[in-house]
Amino acid sequence: MARGTVRPLVVENTAAIRGDTVARPVATWLPATITAAVPLTERSRSLRLVVPGWRGNVPGQHVDIRLTAPDGYQAVRSYSLATSGPGEHIELAIDRLPDGEVSPYLVDVAEVGDKVEVRGPLGGWFVWRPGDPRPVQMIAGGSGVVPFVAMIRAREAAPAGNPFRLLYSVRSPAAAMYRDYLEHSPVGTTVNWIYTRNPPPGSSRPAGRLTSIDLDSHVIPVEQDPLTFVCGSTGFAERVSQMLIERGHPASMIRIERYGDSR
Amino acid sequence: MSGHLDGNSLAGPLSGTFRFDPTVAVGLCDTCGDARPLAASPVYGSAMGQIVRCARCDSVLLTHVQTPAGTYLSTQGLTWLRFASEADPRVTS
């Protein structure tokens, strides 16, 4: 293609380009109903939705949620799924952002029976496919743990398999999403905790953000060829992935998902 | 421009334009020759659409803009985009 020449393709009819007349395109917005809402921390909760026509998802995928105001104004945000597999029931976990437009509504206002629209499942990169034999290292910052809950649940459902490790960095025990589940040793997964502000009493590690020493202590070493997933804020994801690369992890074995301001 | 996201966030917006999940496709930067999945490239979004940049040299790789007249997809910074010839990974396992 000639440099500096921009020849945009105008897509007049996307259905025709997809050639997709039988299978429902993933771009379809599906009506969904909230069936359960469970507080996870002071500022987050999980929502279970029933989505007629949902075709299942693999662990690590996300959805877009669309809310429509009475005046027609629409807002779309992406949320990770904490569940995977077939069926029409999905679970999201939402962290309330202080200046958020959508998350305060989903955490504080929405009720069982309310309707939203869902597009997905989305994303084929930041996923773990059951059957993949590689050891899996997950490194989460704050609400970045949600897609890993889906992976750990899927690993737990597998009869046997590769080792899973989760390194979870949070401000305090009370700020940890899915803390009860993760503290009760899910089958197949080892969980290590990093507390950045208020560690529990008796904790040997002083409060502080995740360091290279923590990685050396808790992360599956390069020699075992782990697939390493990192999920958290942009700053967290970039810092951790940089430290991993400095420790010899090939970039091709690191998969990153970051939460930006727009969430 | 405020903070960016990564290419994982393209999956929803581009789902109406591509037949398969485009975020697992590998793009070759026409400027510096870096090759990586779109999912691992920085994405700058706005209400109009998305701009994907090269993670190494910051060149604009791909622009996706939705207008009332249609969807514009410009791949001006990509030499190619390689789609794996496997089944649609969006479908459940």
How many distinct structural domains can be found in chain B? Answer: 1
Asked if A62 lies within 8 A of B8 by C-beta distance, the reply is yes
CB A34 within 8 A of CB A114: yes
Q: Quick one: pLDDT at residue A1?
A: 36
A88 contacts in chain B (CB < 8 Å): none
What are A173's two structure tokens? 């025990």
A84 contacts in chain B (CB < 8 Å): 92-93
How many cross-chain Cβ pairs, A to B, lie less than 8 Å apart? 122
Q: What are phi and psi of A183, to 5 degrees?
A: -75, -20
What b/e sequence results for B48-65 when a residue is b if at least 16 CB atoms lie within 10 Å of its CB, and e otherwise?
ebbbbbbbeeebbbbbbe
User: Of the candidates A9, A63, A260, which has its C-beta nearest B73's C-beta?
Assistant: A9
User: Of the candidates A63, A131, A257, which has its C-beta nearest B8's C-beta?
Assistant: A257
Among A150, A130, A23, CA closest to A79: A150
User: Of the candidates A5, A7, A55, which has its C-beta nearest B91's C-beta?
Assistant: A55
pLDDT tens for residues A154-206?
A: 999 887 788 999 999 999 999 999 999 999 988 999 999 999 999 999 899 99
Instruction: Please indicate, yes or no, if residue B91 is contained in any of the structural domains.
Output: no
CA distance A205 to chain B (A): 32
Q: Quick one: pLDDT at residue A20?
A: 36
Q: Quick one: pLDDT at residue B17?
A: 82
CATH, domain range A25-122: 2.40.30.10
Q: Quick one: pLDDT at residue A7?
A: 41
Instruction: Please indicate, yes or no, if residue B53 is contained in any of the structural domains.
Output: yes
| Radius of gyration over every alpha carbon of chain B, rounded to an integer in angstroms | 13
A7 contacts in chain B (CB < 8 Å): 74
Q: Quick one: pLDDT at residue A25?
A: 62
Q: What is the mean pLDDT of residues A213-229?
A: 96
**Which comes out higher in pLDDT, residue B27 or A21?**
B27
User: Of the candidates A58, A126, A234, which has its C-beta nearest B39's C-beta?
Assistant: A126
Tell me B93's DSSP state. Answer: -
Cα–Cα distance for residue pair A155/B88, rounded to 1 Å = 22
**Which comes out higher in pLDDT, residue A83 or A18?**
A83
**Is the interface score ipTM higher than 0.85?**
no
pLDDT tens-place values along chain B, 93 residues long: 457 888 999 998 888 888 788 899 999 999 999 999 999 999 998 878 999 999 999 999 999 998 989 899 999 999 999 987 654 444 433
What are A134's two structure tokens? 């590689």
- Which ranges in chain A are annotated with CATH 2.40.30.10? 25-122
Position A96 confidence tier, pLDDT thresholds 50, 70, 90: very high
Nearest residue on chain A to B74, judged by CA atoms?
A8
Would you say how long chain B is, in residues?
A: 93
Instruction: Please indicate, yes or no, if residue B20 is contained in any of the structural domains.
Output: yes
Instruction: Please indicate, yes or no, if residue B92 is contained in any of the structural domains.
Output: no
Q: Quick one: pLDDT at residue A169?
A: 98
Q: Say which CATH topology domain A136-259 has.
A: Rossmann fold (3.40.50)
B24 contacts in chain A (CB < 8 Å): 124-125
Tell me B88's DSSP state. Answer: -
Instruction: Please indicate, yes or no, if residue B89 is contained in any of the structural domains.
Output: no
User: Of the candidates A7, A26, A262, which has its C-beta nearest B45's C-beta?
Assistant: A262
Percent of chain A whose predicted confidence (pLDDT) is above 70: 89
Residues of B engaging A, defined by a Cβ cutoff of 8 Å: 2-9, 11-12, 15-19, 21, 23-24, 30, 37, 39-40, 45, 63, 69-76, 79, 89-93
A262 contacts in chain B (CB < 8 Å): 5, 45
- Which ranges in chain A are annotated with CATH 3.40.50.80? 136-259
CA distance B8 to chain A (A): 6
- Environment class of A173 (CB within 10 Å of its CB; exposed 0-12, middle 13-18, buried 19+): middle
pLDDT of A64 > 60? The answer is: yes
A63 contacts in chain B (CB < 8 Å): 12
Instruction: Please indicate, yes or no, if residue B61 is contained in any of the structural domains.
Output: yes
Asked if A261 lies within 8 A of B23 by C-beta distance, the reply is no
What domain range includes position B40?
5-82
Q: Quick one: pLDDT at residue A164?
A: 96
Q: Quick one: pLDDT at residue B5?
A: 87
Cα–Cα distance for residue pair A37/A24, rounded to 1 Å = 28
Q: Quick one: pLDDT at residue A14?
A: 40
Q: Quick one: pLDDT at residue A217?
A: 95
pLDDT tens for residues A102-123?
A: 999 999 999 999 999 999 999 9
A125 contacts in chain B (CB < 8 Å): 7-8, 23-24, 37, 39-40
Q: Quick one: pLDDT at residue A160?
A: 75
